Amino acid sequence: MAHKRDAKDVADDEPYLQIGEVAERTGVTQRTLRFYEEKGLLKPPTRMEGGFRLYSEADIRRLERIRHLQQLLGFPLAQIKEMVEADEVKMQLRAEYRPEAEASEKKAQILKAIEVTERQLELIGEKATAIVDMQAKLEERLSTFHGWLTDLEASSKSTAKAKV
């Protein structure tokens, strides 16, 4: 078996993962991880001296977010990127938010957050409504069919009676 690494010379407290472990844990291939990095979807992770990538939990959360969005929305990676970046901006604001900051600064941050969130809503909005009412239509048809079915059973029963 593989030797288990002692791969941390960064911060000993945080659990850093090498690319292979991330791949295994998330079901994403190593190639895809490098590819996402290349495309700017994942920020370049920290490395050990040898150059091996070391992913943080935050990196992994981001990765999972990407995959989720990709599955969910079927958008091209460029748009997925926009989405995750927007998330990141909001996280950032949240982290930097100090109640004792200047009001004008806080206001600016909140405005930014609002802008970003609105953009996200814009990206998914149309899709959401369309998919929902497609679903509604299907469900309606389904219950129509069930209705027909029960009608049918009822009438077959009555004809049976009529025959006797």
Positions 12 through 71 that interact with a copy of itself (CB under 8 A) = none
Residue 138 contact partner, candidates DNA, a copy of itself, none, CB within 5 to 8 A by sort of partner: a copy of itself
Is residue 164 within the footprint of a copy of itself (CB under 8 A)? no
Closest CA to 65 of 54, 53, 77: 77
Segment interacting with a copy of itself, rule: CB under 8 A, options 2-10, 15-23, 27-35, 109-117: 109-117
Size of the residue set binding a copy of itself (CB under 8 A) = 37
Question: Of the candidates 49, 98, 145, 164, which one interacts with a copy of itself according to CB under 8 A?
Answer: 145
The terminus-to-terminus CA distance of the chain in angstroms comes to: 78
Bridge partners of 53, per DSSP, are 47
Q: Which residues of 81-117 are buried (b: 16+ CB within 10 A; e: fewer)?
A: bebbebbebbeebeeeeeeeeeeeebeebeeebeebe
Closest CA to 33 of 48, 24, 23, 18: 23
Closer residue to a copy of itself, CB minimum distance, 13 or 126: 126
Closest distance between DNA and the C-beta of residue 123, in Å?
14
Closest distance between a copy of itself and the C-beta of residue 47, in Å?
33
